Amino acid sequence: MSSEMTTQPQYYHDEIVKRLVQFSVAWAVLAMAAGVFVAAELLWPTLDMGQPWLSFGRLRPLHTNGIIFGFGVSALMATAFYSVQRTSHVPLFAPKLAWFLCYAWQLLVLSGGLSLLAGMNTTKEYAELEWPFDIAIALLWVSFGIVFFGTISRRKIRPIYISNWFYGALIIVIAMLHIVNNLELPVTWTKSYSLYAGAQDAIVQWWYGHNAVGFLLTGGFLGMLYYFLPKHAGRPIWSYKLSVVAFWAFTYSYIWAGPHHLHYNAIPEWVQSLGMVMSLVLLAPSWATLINGVMTVSSAWEKLKTDPALKFIVLSLAFYGLATFEGPMMAIRSVNVVSHFTDWTIGHVHSGALGWNAMITYGTFYYLMPRLVGTELYSKRLANVHFWLALAGTMLYIIAMWAAGVSQGLLWLSLDETGELAFGFRDIMSSMAPYYGLRLLAGLIFLGGTLLMAYNFYMTTRSRKTVKVEPPVVDPAFGVV
């Protein structure tokens, strides 16, 4: 890495970042609208109007894939590209490839979504897309890695900042999981059979499924946290050492926890027990990060009053703490007996998804968008309204699903004095309607807030150009030789 002295100025490639943020917001709106629609279908099952592509079983995977791969991954790419440039003090490596990735990824999510509606589906959760898409995902993921690690290897500053390890782990581990879990034999252009069968397929799938949550929905977004939280708060991360230890503990222990999705299922007992123990262990690195985050903002409480973006991020930390506490509890076999297969799981998912993933992303976007175009946010008031809508929507969603899930779980299991089942399945099903109604309302509120944000960004960036930012000159003492 020689420091060639070029005279013509080099700028950060922030246009790509802006475009990815815009795509991410668009996917958030679309995929959450799909979530609201499937929530409504559980109340009014004839909403699909006899149309196959509006049917619950096809739309639900569209909701999860659209949100995770459209909204989530676009947001992660945007923030990874923004922060890796600034922590390396160089523009993106291979910007043309980055632009290609930016658009090709959207095309992939769009066509993949349409294929789900057409009934192409492997049913392996969060890996529902069929084999042609699996190959495309793998190739695009490699280009993500090339751009990201390429930028790091050209960096002008010696240490690789902590946020980049989390983004790096996202890229590497998801690649490994994706390839292994999707090994399948194509039999036609639209259909394949998994190379694993039955119980083995289940074990591989949940090794993937849990760690897609771990390294994408948790680890990837922790990368976002480690860069943008200190930026927002205007002070460095509270303990760098703690973040180092937490990173390696996290990377090591997450991988083992998958079998907590298969308690009391037809897989070996030792695999389940190991999964449970490692899930409890996971609490430690998860909360180490929580503590680090809270301590970092603890001296910036003043800013909280005026900065809606920071409010979102601090709230997201609270929900991160909740979801990573609840998760290990649900991984205990005797608790899982009640929670498994019920709406409790759905509540847990969305406490993480809405409270943690969506909120931290919103907070980050509120920080980014005005800066990218060099102006103030169009309306701080709207952003504050959005904050309260997001909080209300999330709380209502979680509470409704807890109530639904715990009662479902207990009623399914309850036996009367003679040892017979106390309640029929259909009676329990019918009693869920009020909770599903509340969840629908919660979804509408949350979606409403997201629409406000989209409008706010539109007004902020309308007819404005992305500002050009030059990397700063690096003090040779810290630079790469």
Q: Which does 458 bind (CB under 5 to 8 A by kind): other proteins, ligand HEM, ligand HEC, none?
A: none
Is residue 284 exposed (0-12), middle (13-18) or buried (19+ Cβ within 10 Å)? Answer: middle
Cα separation, 249 vs 245, in Å, equals 6
Q: Interface residues for ligand HEM in 334-373 (CB under 6 A)? A: 336, 339-340, 345-346, 348-350, 352-354, 356-358
Q: Is 242 in the site for other proteins (CB under 8 A)?
A: no
| Contact status: 11 vs other proteins (CB under 8 A) | no
**Cβ contacts of 195 within 8 Å, gap of 6 or more:** 183, 184, 185
- Could you identify the residue written with the tokens 């990173």? 247
- 3-state DSSP call for residue 33? helix
Q: Partners of 415 in the beta sheet?
A: 421
Burial of 123 (0-12, 13-18, 19+ CB in 10 A): exposed
Region near ligand HEM per CB under 6 A, out of 33-41, 150-158, 224-232, 458-466: 33-41
The item of ligand HEM, ligand HEC, other proteins, none sharing an interface with residue 218, based on CB under 5 to 8 Å by kind, is ligand HEM
Q: Tell whether residue 426 is a contact of ligand HEC (CB under 6 A).
A: yes
The answer to whether residue 136 forms part of the interface with other proteins (CB under 8 A) is no
The site partner of 398 among other proteins, ligand HEC, ligand HEM, none (C-beta below 5 to 8 Å per kind) is none
Which residues in the 39-98 window bind ligand HEC by CB under 6 A? 56-57
Residue 176 near which of ligand HEM, other proteins, ligand HEC, none (CB within 5-8 Å, type-dependent): other proteins
Nearer to ligand HEM, 156 or 340 (CB): 340
| Binding of residue 377 to ligand HEM (CB under 6 A) | no
DSSP state of 421: B
Stretch in the footprint of other proteins (CB under 8 A) among 26-34, 168-176, 316-324, 385-393? 168-176
Q: How far apart are CA 276 and CA 331, in angstroms?
A: 5
* Residue recorded with tokens 């003492």: 477
Q: Does 42 bind other proteins (CB under 8 A)?
A: yes
Q: Return the closest-CA partner of residue 98 out of 41, 13, 173.
A: 13
Q: Is 282 in the site for ligand HEM (CB under 6 A)?
A: yes
CB of 420 to ligand HEC, least distance (A): 17
Nearer to ligand HEC, 374 or 424 (CB): 424
**If binding means CB under 8 A, how many residues of this protein chain bind other proteins?**
95
CB of 198 to other proteins, least distance (A): 3
The least distance separating other proteins from the CB of residue 250, rounded to whole angstroms, comes to 10
Show the tokens assigned to 431: 């009693």
The stretch among 107-115, 245-253, 330-338, 408-416 that binds ligand HEM (CB under 6 A) is 330-338
Task: Please report, as residue ranges, which positions from 34 to 73 form the binding site for ligand HEM (by CB under 6 A).
Answer: 35-36, 38-39, 60, 63-64, 67, 72
When binding is defined by CB under 6 A, the residue of 65, 324, 364, 408 that contacts ligand HEM is 324
Q: Which positions ≥6 away from 396 have C-beta within 8 Å?
A: 438, 439, 441, 442, 445
Question: In terms of residues, how long is the chain?
Answer: 481
Token output for 69: 């791969």
Strands (E), 140-257: 184-188, 191-194
How far is Cα 319 from Cα 354, in angstroms, rounded to an integer? Answer: 9
SS3 for 65-93 is: HHHHHHHHHHHHHHHHHHHHHHHHCCCCC
- 86 vs 124 by CB, closer to ligand HEM: 124
Q: Which stretch binds other proteins (CB under 8 A): 5-13, 42-50, 284-292, 466-474?
A: 42-50
- How far apart CA 296 and CA 258 sit, in angstroms, is 31
The token duo for 131 is 């084999």
Give the shortest CB-11-to-other proteins separation in angstroms.
23
Which is nearest to 111 in space by CA: 139, 138, 130?
130
Tell which positions 394-453 bind other proteins, by CB under 8 A. 412-415, 419-421, 424-426, 429-430
Cβ distance to ligand HEC smaller for residue 334 or 430: 430
Cβ 201 vs Cβ 194: under 8 Å: yes
Best CA proximity match to 368, nearest among 95, 21, 85: 21
Q: Which one of 429, 433, 459, 467 is in contact with ligand HEC (CB under 6 A)?
A: 429
Least spacing, CB of residue 9 vs other proteins, in Å: 26
- Rounded to 10°, the helix 73-88/14-41 angle is 160
Report in angstroms the alpha-carbon separations of 290 from 215, 325, 400: 16, 11, 26
Q: Is 252 in the site for other proteins (CB under 8 A)?
A: yes
Any contact of residue 178 with other proteins (CB under 8 A)?
no
| 152 Cβ neighbours under 8 A, 6+ residues apart | 84, 88, 160, 164, 168
Binding site for ligand HEC (CB under 6 A): 56-57, 426, 429
Binding site for ligand HEM (CB under 6 A): 32, 35-36, 38-39, 60, 63-64, 67, 72, 125, 209, 213, 217-218, 257, 260-261, 279, 282-283, 286, 323-324, 327-328, 330-331, 336, 339-340, 345-346, 348-350, 352-354, 356-358, 443, 446-447
